[in-house]
Amino acid sequence: GDQTALFQTVPVGRRLGGVWGYSGATISTDRSSVYTGVGNADGTDPDCDCEHDDWGYGDSLVQLSSTLGVVGSNDPGIPADGADDDWGAAPALFSPKGCQPLAVASNKDGYVYAYKQNGLGAGPFWRLGIGTGEPPLLDGPAWSPTTSMFYTAGARMPFDRTRPATGVGIVAVKVSTGCKLSVAWTAQTGVGDGDYGSQAPP
């Protein structure tokens, strides 16, 4: 078929900025918006003669219109020195009871970020560190309207960071009245202390 729209993630002359994560993109229930996560960009900045990886929409979560125009975007920044902070999965979109529609996504930096779907530019209103960034977190959350919880695989286990890592597991996050998010439970699903690789959405 013919191309009808194009979203260019990085300026012409820059490299990378791929949309490469699981599911690629997600679409809002009213079909008005497309959401995706963008990978690292690359290129030399002539102002500082230095390299950085956030050219254009590099390292950003992006909301696009149905014609692929940018509606909103956010790069939450690097929470730890040297962490890889591009997106390994498209966000899960859902509308919890008594709460605005949310977008929840995992970043390679080891954090899960929650945004209001129509407020990406304001940044995340909540985040939870479930990994260390080594290995990178590449796992897409899954939402259950029955339990009012979302579930994310690829978490470092035990979840208590004061103890040595022995495996990987799932974190369940409850969304309560007023958009209050809190960890409901965790469960270890695999053993070992090496690179666990990508985990499928629960």
Q: What was the pLDDT predicted at 85?
A: 81
Q: Which of 127, 130, 197 is nearest to 161 (CA)?
A: 130
Q: Which residues of 39-60 are buried (b: 16+ CB within 10 A; e: fewer)?
A: bbbebeeeeeeeeebbbbbbbb
Residue length of the chain = 202
Task: Give the model confidence (pLDDT) of 10-30 as tens digits.
Answer: 887 777 888 887 778 999 999
Q: What pLDDT is stored for residue 82 in this prediction?
A: 56
Q: Smallest Cα–Cα separation from 123: which of 72, 186, 193, 199?
A: 72
**Alpha-carbon gap, residue 106 to 171, rounded angstroms:** 12
pLDDT tens, 55-73?
789 899 999 999 999 999 9
Whether this model's pTM surpasses 0.85: yes
Please state the rounded mean pLDDT for residues 144-165. Answer: 89
- Per-residue pLDDT of 114-135, as tens digits, reads 999 999 999 999 999 998 777 7
Question: From CA 181, how far away is CA 12, in angstroms rounded?
Answer: 40
